[in-house]
Structure 1
């Protein structure tokens, strides 16, 4: 089995390598290729990756290359984890929206749209190269904004599935609170990427006992702290929102916070510099503890599970993925990309049935889906008016004066990445 990671020079990658090494019986990789245009980072990450494999007794071969064509040639699966524009672009995404009193964040709001505009054309170009190299290869997208990027891939006819680590994080958290194995926790996870709620927590599978009321009753304070929302709100909702819902439920509070502290991009940039220094140490042969603060917890386990299921070698029977709606949420178009539990196998994901959503949640999902439609159109076709329409449609913006100003700011800060600007 050959697996390729595009964006292999990311500081995330050792987390992925550690999972591949530990879970080699689930996903028996013979050749792992790390592709990245940044040769200096790739050398450091590739060296650590080989040492991790050696320490854990993995016999697979690791290749590091900047040649995308060679990297994807013959690959059974390709994982995408790239960041167009790097941390410098993320820093901009998280700062200029704040000038209008809007959230500065890399996956939602104006910053998320900027990332989508930079990313979608690049990802589609990579996917075309993958298709020419091996039309049967699966593309697993971990590149944000996952929902929009995955929809672009599926709309272009690629064999693609989107992946996020929010669900597996909740699964581990709830398992710890309940004193059970993570494999025993089945989430009623529903919504869009970075706009999801845990509406059920069942033990043993989709038909098991729903213990969410027990979790909220006995551990509501801990869960509320984890998602950074008030306990009384969780009690009133009767569900557990992902921490990304804080941008919607406590927008003004978050804006005030973001204006008074260093951006997450600045924090990550400092961490990345230290991580790369550590990766260059030839005695380091395991992922460092600092990597846990970088983000992406449990990403490797989710990626292994998904790739194994898609390639027919195993993996969990049910997994939370980003895939086509196809009637799962009846108030959305069939070609919308949703994030839900699905049965995953070599033919791809098949979403499990979802109980009717409370209008409190379905209304927001429908609104953000409409924004994502417009965002994808802007990413594919360009043009100032398309950018404005997407921003005006986003529930975190919604006012024409803000949309006008943010459109100009977005284009000004991203001109080098926008072929049409």
Structure 2
């Protein structure tokens, strides 16, 4: 079975390879095709993977490709992990917003909308080429902003594109551990959008263990989300929020901390990863060792820009172990291929799951995965405070998709102005104007 990885020169590619090559991998891939527009990055990743292959039980054959149709032809699965505009685009996403006094973050707020505006045209082109060249392939989308990108790709691919994110999976892993159970023994209710959701129930033997978890300081201390946002607030919510909700619930604090930091997350990653690619290109025989060192620093500092200075590298080992989106993707592949029944949190079409949202909206909920497709599980009614935020952000996402599709800057302005983290129509206009001036991909979105 052939798997094509769009963004094959990206830093996280070896994690996917490790999952594919594991003895207990849920899907057997015989060829991993790396597609990227950067030949040097492709060669660095090829060096890392070849060194990894020697210590893995059943490594797939590695191919590299810079022609999209060739890369897609014959693929059973396509992973989309592109970063249009690279690290420079991400830095601009963050800095432009911060300079105007609003949150500067990669996927949340105006930075996420700028990221979407330059990414959606490429995502649509990819979807169209998959539909033409590999119509039976499943597309698993990691590309951020994952909800918007998945929703845009559905126009060409329908249900054959599914969005994934490791954040809610990590939340669930910690919650299962905190209640002293196993994934197979729990039932749960999780609802939201990508990077905006809540765990509202976790049941064992028909009994909801969430109230007890929220009441227990020791158990709650195992939840990174509770440590980040405070035990009192999580208890007040009566739910465990996705960690990205920190940016909504603590907008002022997050913005001030990021502005006070020596560098944004994008600037940190550009400095760190530029060093890795440069060194790995010069010393290809040490590429794997260099990658492993860089990976540890990257994971340990996740969301560090939003924490107090003394906690910048304070993630617990349990917060970063257990695998990431590569494990989610492999489990999804296994379910779709072999029919192994599984319950996963995925980005899929709403279709009445949350009646107050449009049917065609992509939401993030628990789904049953079986051979040939996924089915969203029913969720409990969504409380008004949560629903209001979901409706507002989804409206912003759909306006952004429409602005990209129709190349309409007025719709883009409306989307920015409607976002709950943008506090002024005037600021929204300045954001759009500045993004168009400094990010070529945003300017090109309206040409």
- TM-score, structure 2 length as denominator? 0.88
Q: Which runs of 5+ in 1 are unaligned?
A: none
For residues 140-181 of structure 1, what are the alpha-carbon distances to aligned partners after superposition, in whole Å with 9 as ceiling and x for unaligned? 100000111010011334420000011111122223334444
State the match for 2:330 in structure 1.
304
For residues 267-315 of structure 1, what are the alpha-carbon distances to aligned partners after superposition, in whole Å with 9 as ceiling and x for unaligned? 111221344335854256576153144359511110101111122353x
State the match for 2:294 in structure 1.
290
State the match for 1:134 in structure 2.
134
2:417/2:423 contact within 8 Å kept: yes
Q: Does structure 1 residue 385 correspond to structure 2 residue 383?
A: no
Q: C-alpha distance in 2, partners of 1:240/1:225?
A: 7
Partner SS state of residue 292, structure 2 = coil
The equivalences for 1:343-354 within 5 A come to 343-354=368-379
Structure 1 residues 57 and 227, CA, compared in 2 at 3 Å: closer, same or farther?
same
2:164/2:347 contact within 8 Å kept: yes
1:11/1:275 contact within 8 Å kept: no
State the match for 2:317 in structure 1.
none
Q: Does structure 1 residue 189 correspond to structure 2 residue 190?
A: yes
Among 205, 212, 215, the alignment partner of 1:214 is 212
The equivalences for 1:1-80 within 5 A come to 1-22=1-22, 25-80=25-80
For residues 215-272 of structure 1, what are the alpha-carbon distances to aligned partners after superposition, in whole Å with 9 as ceiling and x for unaligned? 2222224436656112111111110111111111111111111111010001111221
Q: C-alpha distance in 2, partners of 1:318/1:9?
A: 31
Q: Which runs of 5+ in 2 are unaligned?
A: 300-319
The 10-residue stretch of structure 1 (57-66 or 38-47) with the greater mean CA deviation from structure 2: 57-66
Structure 1 residues 253 and 48, CA, compared in 2 at 3 Å: closer, same or farther?
same
The equivalences for 1:249-328 within 5 A come to 249-261=249-261, 262-276=263-277, 277=279, 280-282=283-285, 288-295=292-299, 298-312=324-338, 314=340, 317-328=342-353
2:127/2:156 contact within 8 Å kept: no
For residues 11-40 of structure 1, what are the alpha-carbon distances to aligned partners after superposition, in whole Å with 9 as ceiling and x for unaligned? 011111111112554111111111111111
Q: C-alpha distance in 2, partners of 1:30/1:151?
A: 30
1:310/1:344 contact within 8 Å kept: yes
Partner SS state of residue 87, structure 1 = helix
Deviation at 1:186, TM superposition (A): 4.4
The 10-residue stretch of structure 1 (109-118 or 222-231) with the greater mean CA deviation from structure 2: 222-231
Q: C-alpha distance in 2, partners of 1:244/1:82?
A: 21
State the match for 2:103 in structure 1.
103
RMSD (Å), alpha carbons: 2.1
- TM-score, structure 1 length as denominator? 0.93
Q: C-alpha distance in 1, partners of 2:276/2:176?
A: 30
Q: C-alpha distance in 2, partners of 1:283/1:253?
A: 41
2:350/2:362 contact within 8 Å kept: yes
Deviation at 1:58, TM superposition (A): 1.1
Q: C-alpha distance in 2, partners of 1:293/1:325?
A: 37
Q: C-alpha distance in 2, partners of 1:334/1:41?
A: 40
1:26/1:305 contact within 8 Å kept: yes
For residues 118-161 of structure 1, what are the alpha-carbon distances to aligned partners after superposition, in whole Å with 9 as ceiling and x for unaligned? 10110111121111122111111000001110100113344200
2:47/2:287 contact within 8 Å kept: no
Q: C-alpha distance in 1, partners of 2:167/2:184?
A: 16
Q: C-alpha distance in 1, partners of 2:119/2:132?
A: 20
State the match for 1:200 in structure 2.
201
The 10-residue stretch of structure 1 (23-32 or 34-43) with the greater mean CA deviation from structure 2: 23-32
1:216/1:223 contact within 8 Å kept: no
1:24/1:58 contact within 8 Å kept: no
Q: C-alpha distance in 1, partners of 2:225/2:399?
A: 34
State the match for 1:413 in structure 2.
438
State the match for 1:165 in structure 2.
166
State the match for 1:373 in structure 2.
398
State the match for 1:119 in structure 2.
119
Q: C-alpha distance in 1, partners of 2:362/2:225?
A: 29
